[in-house]
């Protein structure tokens, strides 16, 4: 399979990632419990990733239980696909899919920042001005340029972005020992298990998924497609190209959210989206000093 197929996979991944936030909102609007929905979405994604790895025959799933790596897998899974996702989905109840998609781009500068603060990486040149540009874009989208107040949903998604970013920074060392696709499966598996551990303590209502079961299954399916196509795209191109190719997802979310919910997007918010995309792209082009 040649390089051009890599770009096809990445295009599908960007489309799926842009749509998943809208599907999440549809499920929540239909009455799905955010805790049960999060578990279902991650669980379906984990099963799809396991089937993908088995059918390709490139990786042994038992690696995720390697005693030398399991601590790293658990930390990454809890932050990226477990409790971090819970903050995102619960936050989505109180905000829009567009706000969620744009806020999640904050994970890009935060990943670099955490890598510098906790893992002794050097700060890339021009990181700070580019990050401020991206932050200005997020501000315009979330507040429409009016004041500084954020609703509780937006704040929860900011926390989720920080969790995703720390897991990304932490995962850099782990990726030296395992394939990217194996780490992706481990992240989903331990993320789902970490949510399951909260069953006795949070108001889980699995029956709430039944009225919108088709949407819930669609959410899990699209999420699984997003994960598989992204890592297949990385395999056929490079991680840097994959990051560039999928940065368009907030635009897909904004357009699909407008089409399904009629969520208005003001001119100042489009300016914010442009700043976010430009800033995120510039961050991926930075080189270490």
Rg (the chain; Cα; Å) = 18
Q: Contact 276/109 with Cβ under 8 angstroms?
A: no
In angstroms, the CA 57 to CA 53 distance is 6
Contact of 84 with 163, CB cutoff 8 Å:
yes
Greatest distance between any 2 Cα atoms in the chain: 54
Residue matched to tokens 């001005």: 129
The token pair at 164 is 């995703």
How far apart are the C-alpha atoms of 280 and 133, rounded to whole Å? 9
As a whole number of angstroms, the distance between CA 42 and CA 36 comes to 10
Query: DSSP label at 72?
Result: H
1-6: Cβ within 8 A, 24+ apart = 1/236, 2/236, 3/236, 3/237, 5/236, 6/232, 6/233, 6/235, 6/236, 6/237, 6/241
* Helices assigned H by DSSP within the chain: 3-29, 34-56, 70-77, 83-92, 97-104, 107-119, 127-143, 152-174, 180-196, 213-236, 239-245, 249-261, 267-285
pTM, to two decimals: 0.89
188: left (phi over 0), alpha (psi -120 to 50) or beta: alpha
The pLDDT assigned to 54 comes to 84
Q: What is the pLDDT along the chain (289 residues), one digit of tens a residue?
A: 567 888 888 889 899 999 999 999 999 999 999 999 999 999 999 999 899 888 877 667 788 888 889 999 999 999 999 999 999 999 999 999 999 999 998 888 888 889 888 888 888 888 888 889 888 999 998 888 887 777 899 999 999 999 999 998 888 888 888 888 888 899 999 999 999 999 999 999 999 999 999 999 999 999 999 988 888 887 777 666 676 667 788 989 999 998 998 888 889 999 999 998 888 888 777 654 5
Give Cα separations from 111 to 34, 42, 164 (angstroms).
26, 22, 8
Quick one: pLDDT at residue 154? 93
C-alpha distances in angstroms, 92 versus 7, 133, 186, 215?
30, 24, 25, 16
Q: Which residues of 182-203 are buried (b: 16+ CB within 10 A; e: fewer)?
A: bbbbbbbbbbbbbbeeeeeeee
């Amino acid at each position: 399979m040649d390089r051009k197929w890599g770009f096809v996979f990445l295009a599908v991944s960007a489309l799926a990632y842009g749509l998943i936030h809208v599907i999440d909102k549809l499920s929540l609007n239909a009455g799905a419990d955010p805790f049960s929905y999060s578990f279902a979405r991650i669980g379906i994604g984990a099963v799809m990733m396991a089937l993908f790895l088995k059918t390709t025959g490139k990786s042994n799933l038992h690696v995720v239980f390697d005693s030398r790596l399991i601590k790293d897998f658990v930390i990454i899974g809890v932050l990226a696909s477990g409790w971090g996702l819970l903050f995102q989905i619960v936050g989505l109840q109180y905000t829009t899919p567009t706000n969620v998609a744009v806020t999640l781009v904050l994970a890009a500068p935060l990943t670099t920042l955490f890598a510098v603060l906790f893992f002794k990486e050097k700060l890339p040149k021009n990181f700070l001005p580019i990050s401020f540009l991206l932050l200005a874009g997020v501000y315009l989208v979330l507040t429409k340029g009016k004041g500084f107040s954020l609703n509780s949903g937006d704040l929860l998604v900011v926390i989720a972005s920080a969790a995703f970013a720390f897991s990304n920074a932490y995962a850099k060392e782990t990726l030296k020992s395992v394939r990217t696709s194996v780490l992706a499966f481990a992240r989903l598996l331990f993320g789902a298990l970490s949510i399951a551990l909260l069953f006795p303590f949070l108001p889980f209502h699995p029956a709430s998924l039944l009225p919108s079961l088709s949407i819930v299954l669609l959410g899990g399916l699209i999420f699984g497609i997003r994960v598989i196509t992204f890592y297949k795209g990385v395999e056929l191109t490079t991680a840097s190209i994959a990051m560039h190719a999928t940065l368009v997802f907030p635009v897909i979310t904004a357009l699909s959210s407008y089409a399904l919910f009629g969520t208005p997007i003001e001119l100042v918010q489009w300016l914010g989206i442009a700043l976010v995309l430009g800033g995120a792209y510039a961050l991926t082009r930075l080189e270490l000093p």
